[in-house]
Structure 1
Amino acid sequence: MLDAGTNYSNINAGRYNIEGGTVIFSGIANIDGGNKIDFHNIPGGQLVIGSTSLSDLSGDSLNVENFVYGDQIKIASSTSYSDDTLSTAVSGDDLLIQSTVDGKTTTVVTIKGYATSSAANVEPAPTVTYSDGYILFGEQSDTGACFLAGSMVRTPQGSVAVENIQAGTDIFVYDWKSNTETTQQVTWAGQAFTVVNSSLPDDEAGYPVRILKDALADGTPYKDMLVTAEHCLFFNGRFVPARMLVNGASIFYDKSITSYPYYHVETAEHAVTSVDGVLTESYLDTGNRRSFRQNSKVVQLHSKTRTWEEDAAAPLGVDVDFVKPLFDNFKNRARHVAGSQTPAAPGTLTTDPNLHLVTQTGAVIRPVRCANQHYSFMLPPGTRSVQIVSRASRPANVIGPFVDDRRQLGVAVADIQLVTARQHATPITAHLQPNKPAGWHNTGWAECAWTNGNATLPLDAQTEHNDIAMLSITLQATGSYPLAAEVQENVQRHSA
């Protein structure tokens, strides 16, 4: 019996346990068809199978047990598929993942015993899609902007729990331009399920945001409100994502909730609605509708994907000047809100980027000189590329969630010069090109580019003579970086 958390290759075992974790196989041929892959009815499990071809897949099968919604099977495929060519079909007790191209349907992979498993009764039924080189069966969804169960939607018949809203229900909507209230009919109500990925930052992990009663104003919301991080609230003519208002006291990520169903309510036109006494948004289909099960027996036909720029009921308000006053107001009133949490103490920050290089062999190169943002490094002969490595941080973490920048930023690199014994200084500009190497952010700036803390710098053409070389890097800017993880690492090292 082998458990999740390991990368397996050419191992025969009676059973593989995936209890909310991940098991990785190098290829589907490494799995004996007689073996059991058991998800243990726990959402969040993932089976990853790499390096497969169509011939590999069509000749093999997976014997899966206790697969539930929130679990996922991820199969690398050298053949590309569009989502509308992939489907599922039941054959006896087996589930077939199929592809239809030019009218011909081919079984891509067989999941043995699926029809007799608990997964066969799961609602919504798992989908099969193709993305970034993988066939994906089952949902590990991006929750987007959604409500949790118990959110009360204001309707002419009174407040109705979001999970009970169906297509055809009339709900109140607010026309902020004319300051009037009207009704719109719900055209679609969707439901899905998500499992938190605690390895990601809180705002990306899937934790719901809890907005305590009275957190926004007296009586607003009139009870605790639970929404996903990207769900928008309406203030002064703009929509603001809930994640940008998290203060850790009256508005916080509820980490006691690690898996949950979530719900969307769509109106004919994107609208400002009232839920739990808070002005918020109806669903805007920006491309993730197929991840949801419809809460209605009537099948609705849907229009093309919409955009915030063209179809939103109000513009997004994510600039600091607009959001920070709201954030400060809610943070200041938090001490008067019942049930407010004690925010975590801010971590220790440093402005030292700890800039260094790592060669393709793993050698660490420290600067031989550093002054006024100019760093010089001595490269050994034969260096074909280096990683520019530094501390990194997200502005939304070190400045505040009211900053809509969640990139990992290392250092902003401007000028790079390479000097060898055979030639004068040669400028290196790979980081300034439109198609940047791995680890560089596309900021649109012509004079510099930010790393993510570990950025590739190719040097092949400049070091072909195997000379010792000096690499000079000029930084345009650095950031503030958390020290907490490094301090903990040092404590563990010294206590070992």
Structure 2
Amino acid sequence: MSDTISGTVLSGVTLSSAQYADPVAIEGIIDVAGGNALVAPLTWTIDVTGTIAASDDGGVLLLAGGQIDNHGLVTAASDAVLSTSGRAFDIQNEASGTLASASGDAVKLSGGVTGSTLLNAGLISAGNAGIGLQIGAAVAVNEAGGVIEGGSAGVVLGNVASFDNFGTVGGSTGILVPIGQNYVDIVQGGLVSASSGPAISFTGGAVMTVTDTLTVLPGATFDGAAIGGQVADLVFGGTTEGTFVNPTQEFVQFNTISIAAGATWDLAGISTISSPFRNDGTLLVQAGDAIDFGAAVSGSGVIDLAGGFVDFANTVAAGTTIDFNAPGSFMQFNQSHPFSGTVEGFTPGDTIDITGFGASQQLSGTVAGNVLTLNNGLAPLYVTFATAPGPLAVVAIGGTNPKTFEVVVPCFRHGTRLLTPSGLRPVETLSEGDEVITLRGEVRQIAWRGQRRIDCRRHPVPESVLPVLIEKDAFGVGQPCRDLYLSPDHAIWIDGSLVEIKRLINGLSIRQVTVPTVTYYHVELESHDVVLAEMLPAETYLDCGNRFQFEDGDATISLFPDFGALARDPGRLYAPVVDGGPDLARIRAGLQYRVASRGIRQKAGNFQVVADGKTVAPVWSADRHRIYRLPPAPCDLKLLSTASRPAELDPASEDWRWLGIAICDAVLDGDPVDIAAPFFGRGFHGPEHAGDGWFRWTDGTATIDAAGARELAFTVRAVAPVWDVPAPSCGVSVRHRA
């Protein structure tokens, strides 16, 4: 049996078994000027294809639960649909259906119990200060195409509520979980917008218990922030790849953040994740993206570095895999926190930085099987690789505070890209006949490409072959577009001239790095030209008689090559070479200006006298004069100091020596020391004359032969200044990429 209300009814209807059968179909119009339009005192099934309207009170009132299937229109001054009982309900608002309130709540299901459901594919709307949907202890789904909107809030969720959104939710606040409401789960795969408040807000109280969850699916859109209130966990879920730009600007105050098993997410942009992070899926970090993890990282998933940057400031648990999946990927962790993850795919062009070392600490590494052991004189550090990584280099990075070491694959410029008609291509993939784009925009063919691998440890003059690192943006935004390595004598084009990169070293944005081995690639065109290496103009190869030093040249190979030993023929050069004078000083001054714009300044250096490894304090000090009491027995006496190269700090200087402290008027036990005496041991530069006196510089680590003397005195003529690199502020990492 069923019943139908058709035609037009102008008074309120109360469903009773004496008058109506269950279910009842509303095919006509119920239009009530006063009171509720339709009341169901008992459990009832109501199908609406017509119109229910109440201009003064509520639309449909369920006093004992029941079912509503709405294809029509329900409008009311207060609540369009209200359920107040402790009985289960099942409400479906179909695509053609509308549930609307002028000033109350469109749908208020406050008396539901577990097992109650609401499905919306149409429109649920509340005006003024009303709420679109208010629900507790039930499961609600807003389907794709469904709209729920309210004046104050689109959706308000109470205890044990579950809400899945694949449509649109809007209000002053999009979705609200009030204070004290627990075990609330939200799945967001649609649009949630807020006109003045947050898109989603979990409200924490004085006592915060984490019981709520927000799961974000691919395709989700937020117009406004999502606030966890420290009572909710954030989960990135789904089975297709999702992308979210700058997620930590949108998601705040979540207790934990995780990626679900089977989910893949690209968290693009620059983010600092301060909550514990668990990854059981795949996290993509693309080129140009950076994620700083401030809390512990765990899980059984993969962090896929596709040219991006990750910084682990806390522990990384076993089970986490860091997959270096594209050249130029970069990982950083702090030596004070265990790194127990596994590294995959580490290749030339990738970098691992270890931070947090004291200024005097050193770090060395050995590879045994698939484990890199890093020794710093205290507790060893371990980095586990999925497979044996082969030879690795551990390089100290200058200008970092605290001190940083890099782990790199010892190959030079493998992965460095040149601009071609098909885009930037790694130099090792180019060969004769391939085309490159020159600085003038011309497309030219490669006439020859040579390469040479060098063991820098065996080279008699390693400074002549060690690579020079040019940091990203060193010459301006996008020049280079990422870190670039060149041989010391390789020239770049700047201001209409060619300048060898070794003449532009400043110890910060351009610096020479120590590696055990290095591989150089050279590309030659039919005539000397300038191409774009990582978008920085750099010269092509010009044969000055040293082609034999590279593979693919003549059969003879030089044992210890020096790539800058032969002069360039000016008549064959693309542009004139600047190797000194005011033009070079002007170029270097411009680079120093860029360094200064990063907040880096020069500061005075410092020094100390050390006997048998212990600092000796002066017994007398006045102005620049010092007197020291030495130990009674013969001792290992050193003069240690900070050190710098004048040419790195002064654009007009051509002095590339390492200088520490300059002393004069040395005295042992009251007897003056001759400027050429054995007193000046290893680490002292030669004597220099100024005015009517002589002095000698150290290189930062100098040995003194005190010949058993008990008292040492000298005058400090100068202490070389050094760069003062600001310590990184909270949430900001100092990054060096290779």
Range class of TM-score, shorter chain: 0.3 to 0.5
Asked which structure has the greater RCO (Cα within 8 Å, sep 6+), the reply is 1
Higher share in strand = 2
Higher share in helix = 1
Give the number of the structure whose alpha-carbon radius of gyration is greater.
Answer: 2
The TM-score, its normalising length taken from structure 2, stands at 0.33
